[in-house]
């Protein structure tokens, strides 16, 4: 059974006089343990989809009737507030773009973990501390950092801590919306490599959203390309790279300067 099953998802933003169709009839699945990438430029709707899976939208966003989102067989759109609270963090966890800025600046790292663990499982402080140490080890951060405040750590470390918090309740699906765009290329590589290893070890699925197609091909199993609200191509990573079917995918590849070999279609430097 698929971990995530999105069927006929349509999301609109309702304005005073017009309606903007942000997501148009998108369908895709993610298998257990799969790393699925969703690529596209700004405004294509990829973040809108990510928010919809966790039901994080606010008005004027509207998920149209007829859309279906199922996580591990459960209809996400039918969950009430209580069920949603239990659903978030346990079944699905999300890492946002500047997630390193979403850590509470007045709480120590240990307290951030305690906050999540206690709220969702009623864990006691000592138990939460042990679990936090365990999780920090997973992301290669020394346990003495538990008593530090977010501003005392680098951006890359904070992002890793956010990922560790996401893993706290062993979710089945982790959604990452441009998790490394604000980070340097070496830090980006470290973090994604770590997530890939954790995925193989713990077995969760990943929905990875970014505009960096080259990065996505390096780490994803399958990739979906979005253009203006529509999913125009879905295929395994190597096929997307070597034999893209859709014009837009080809256009995206052509627009990227390459580090080795031919520059791009237009070699303009003398």
Partner 1 sequence: MPLLSQLLQNKKAMVGVVILAFIILVAVFAPFLSEYSPTQRVGRPHQPPSLDHWLGTTRLGHDVFTRLIHGARVSLAVGFGAGLMIALIGTVLGILAGYKGGVIDEVINFFTNLVLVIPNLPLLLVIAAFVGQASPLIIAVILGLTSWAWGVRVTRSETLSIRQRDYVKSAEMLGEPSWRIMAFEIFPNLISIVGINFIGSVIFAVITEATLEFLGLGDPNTVSWGIMLYNAQNASALSVGAWWDLLSPCFALTLLGLSLALINFAIDEVANPRLRTGSMLGRWKRMVRVGEGKL
Partner 2 sequence: MSDTSPVIALDNVSKIFGKAGAQVYAARSVSFALYPGRTLALVGESGSGKTTAARLIMREYRPDQGRLLFRGTPVEGSSSSDLKLYRRAVQMVFQDPFSSLNPGHTVRYHLERPLRLHQPALKGAARQAAAAELLTRVKLDPALVMPKYPHELSGGQRQRISIARALAVNPEVIIADEPTSMLDVSVRLGILNLLNDMKRQLKLAVLYITHDIATARYVAEDIMVMYAGQIVEWGATESVLSNPQHPYTRLLLSAVPDPDRRFADTSVDDELGDIERIRRQSAIEQSEVRQIAPNHFIRPMPA
List interacting residues with partner 2 (CB under 8 A): 41-42, 184-190, 192-193, 196, 211-215, 217-219, 241, 251-252, 255-260, 263-264, 266, 268-270
Question: What angle separates helix 155-167 from helix 125-138, to the nearest 10 degrees?
Answer: 120
**Residue 31 site contact among partner 2, partner 1, none (CB < 5 to 8 Å, cut-off depends on kind):** none
Q: Among residues 61, 49, 120, which one has the least CA distance to residue 88?
A: 120
Spatial separation of the C-alpha atoms in residues 4 and 74, rounded to whole Å:
9
Give bridge partners of residue 39 from the DSSP assignment. 210, 225
Nearest to 159 by CA among 142, 182, 138: 182
Q: With CB under 8 A as the contact rule, which of the stretches 62-70, 100-108, 176-184, 255-263 interacts with partner 1?
A: 62-70
176, two tokens: 């990452």
Minimum separation from the CB atom of position 186 to partner 2 (A): 4
Which range, of 60-68, 99-107, 134-142, 144-152, touches partner 1 by CB under 8 A?
Answer: 60-68
CA distance 234 to 28: 8
CB 231 within 8 A of CB 7: no
Could you tell me the smallest distance in angstroms from the CB atom of residue 214 to partner 2?
4
The distance of closest approach from Cβ of residue 47 to partner 1 in the complex, given in angstroms and rounded to an integer, is: 16
Largest CA-CA distance found in the chain, in angstroms, rounded: 65
268's contact among partner 1, partner 2, none, with CB below 5 to 8 A by partner kind, is: partner 2
Q: In what order do the strands lie in the sheet with 74-75?
A: 19-30, 4-14, 68-71, 74-75
Q: Which lies closer to partner 1 via its Cβ, residue 51 or residue 113?
A: 51
The strand order across the sheet containing 205-210 reads 92-95, 173-177, 205-210, 35-39, 222-227, 230-236
By CB under 8 A, what part of segment 239-258 binds partner 1? none
Give the one entry of partner 2, partner 1, none that residue 130 binds, where binding means its C-beta sits below a cut-off of 5 to 8 angstroms depending on kind: none
Contact string 68-107 vs partner 1 (x = CB under 8 A): ---------x------------------------------
The contacts of residue 104 (CB under 8 Å, 6+ apart) are 111, 112, 115, 150
In the list partner 2, partner 1, none, the entry touching 186 (Cβ below 5 to 8 angstroms by class) is partner 2
1, 42, 65, 73: residue in contact with partner 1 (rule CB under 8 A): 65
Residues of the shown chain interacting with partner 1 in the complex, contacts defined by CB under 8 A: 12, 14-16, 55, 57-65, 67, 77
């Amino acid at each position: 059974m698929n971990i995530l099953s999105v069927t006929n998802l349509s999301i609109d933003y309702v304005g005073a006089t017009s309606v903007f169709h942000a997501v148009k009839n998108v369908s895709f699945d993610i298998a257990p343990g799969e790393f699925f990438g969703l690529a596209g430029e700004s405004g294509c709707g990829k973040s809108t989809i990510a928010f919809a899976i966790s039901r994080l939208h606010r008005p004027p966003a509207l998920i149209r009737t007829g859309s279906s989102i199922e996580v591990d067989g459960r209809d996400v759109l039918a969950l009430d507030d209580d069920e949603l609270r239990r659903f978030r963090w346990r079944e699905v966890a999300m890492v946002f773009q500047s997630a390193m800025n979403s850590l509470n600046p007045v709480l120590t790292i240990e307290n951030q973990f305690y906050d999540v663990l206690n709220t969702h499982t009623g864990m006691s402080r000592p138990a939460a501390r042990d679990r936090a140490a365990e999780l920090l080890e997973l992301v290669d951060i020394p346990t003495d950092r538990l008593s530090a405040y977010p501003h005392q750590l680098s951006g890359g470390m904070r992002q890793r801590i956010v990922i560790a918090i996401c893993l706290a309740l062993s979710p089945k699906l982790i959604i990452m919306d441009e998790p490394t765009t604000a980070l340097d290329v070496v830090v980006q590589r470290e973090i994604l490599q770590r997530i890939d290893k954790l995925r193989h070890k713990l077995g969760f699925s990943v929905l990875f959203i970014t505009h960096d197609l080259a990065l996505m091909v390096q780490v994803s199993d399958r990739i979906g390309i979005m253009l203006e609200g529509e999913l125009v191509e879905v295929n395994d990573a190597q096929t997307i790279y070597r034999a893209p079917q859709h014009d837009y995918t080809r256009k995206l590849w052509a627009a990227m300067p390459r580090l080795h070999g031919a520059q791009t279609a237009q070699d303009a430097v003398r």
